Every structure is written in structure tokens, then in C-alpha cells.
Amino acid sequence: MIKMKLAVLALLVVPGSSLPNNISAQYYNDNDFDNYRDRDVTYQDFYAELSPHGRWVGYPGHGYVWVPDVGPDFRPYSTNGHWVWTEDYEWMWVSDYDWGWAPFHYGRWDYDDYYGWYWVPGYEWSPAWVAWRDGGDYYGWAPLRPGITISINFNIGSYNPLIISGALPRDATSHTGVSGITVLTTGKM
């Protein structure tokens, strides 16, 4: 049974990591990161680029937030994209959405029972605004909600996200492009 699970995992990870990474809205070449990361963005940039792909709504405590036009199975940092290992930034989320350059690298995601996932604009770039956890044989990640700031790379205490975006077996992270795996999508981490 274990051999069968590993074979299925290999079929999911290896083809996804060996295919060319075609990205229309994001760069993943280490030489391009500095130009991409240092890009000056404004609220108007976000509004103009994201409006065709969702709607802007007033939200208490956050001002205007963006709600993407995606299906109910959408999960930030899990749906329609993949993780890529980079020398400078380690794991980076590369979205396959045309609009992915903004909400996966600037600002933060949160969840509302009425709207579903919504994005709060922010102006600082990151390879992915997620909290990482590990347990047993899995790594998991979840979006950092608005107002959560982590500026050092160790954990004292814990951050319990409302919803987990994804998890994958430890051995799957040895590939440079991880896609097609989400074994856990909801619940406390």
C-alpha cells in the first residue's frame, strides 16, 4: 500500500516539476526577482489590474478589499499554481492566474462566510505571504491574515490560521516545482 501511495505521489509531482513553467504574470527566474520585488505598486495598479477578475467591496476594518471571480473550491496558495524553489527566496508561490502577480505577493488573504476568500491590498512584496507548519511527514501552509507580521525566521508559540491552504509530504519538497498536490484543504492546523 505504501509503495502504491509513493507511485501515485511520484506521478503527481514529477510531471508537474519537469514541465516548463509558463508564467504570464510572474517571474520565477532568480535573476528577475530583484526587478519584480522592487516594483513600485499603487492602489490604482491593483484596482486597474484586478477589477476585470473580481469585484472590490468595502469591508469593515480593511477598507476596500478584492473578491476574485473564482469557484467555491478556490484556496489561496493552493489553487491554480505551484511552489518553486528559488536560491534567494526559497519557496515562492507561482500563480497560473493572469492576476496572480498581485494578491499572492502583495497584501494578505482572509476568509469571510459571505464573500469567501478576499484580498486586502498591501505594498510590501513577498515570495508568498504564508505561515509554514510541519508535523509528522507533512509540511503545511496557510495564508497570513491581515495584521500578522513575521519578520524573523523562527517560531515561538504558534500561529493558528483559520483555514489551511495545503499540505504535502516532506519528500515531495525535494522537487523544484511542486504542483498537483493538496492533501488537506480545510480545518485547523
Task: Please state, in angstroms and rounded to a whole number, the distance separating the CA atoms of residues 80 and 27.
Answer: 16
Stronger pLDDT, 39 or 154, i.e. the higher one: 39
Tens-place pLDDT, residues 120-155: 999 999 999 998 887 777 778 889 999 876 555 444
pLDDT confidence of residue 23? 31
Mean pLDDT of 167-180: 48
Average pLDDT, the chain: 72
Mean pLDDT of 33-47: 76
Tell which phi-psi region holds residue 11, choosing left (phi > 0), alpha (psi between -120 and 50) or beta: alpha
Q: Are 64 and 41 in contact (CB under 8 A)?
A: no
pLDDT confidence of residue 184? 35
Residue spans of the domains in the chain: they are 2-178
Tens-place pLDDT, residues 99-126: 999 999 999 999 999 999 999 999 999 9
The pTM (predicted TM-score) of the whole model is 0.67
Highest mean pLDDT among 19-23, 90-94, 181-185: 90-94
Q: How many CB atoms lie within 10 A of CB 65?
A: 23
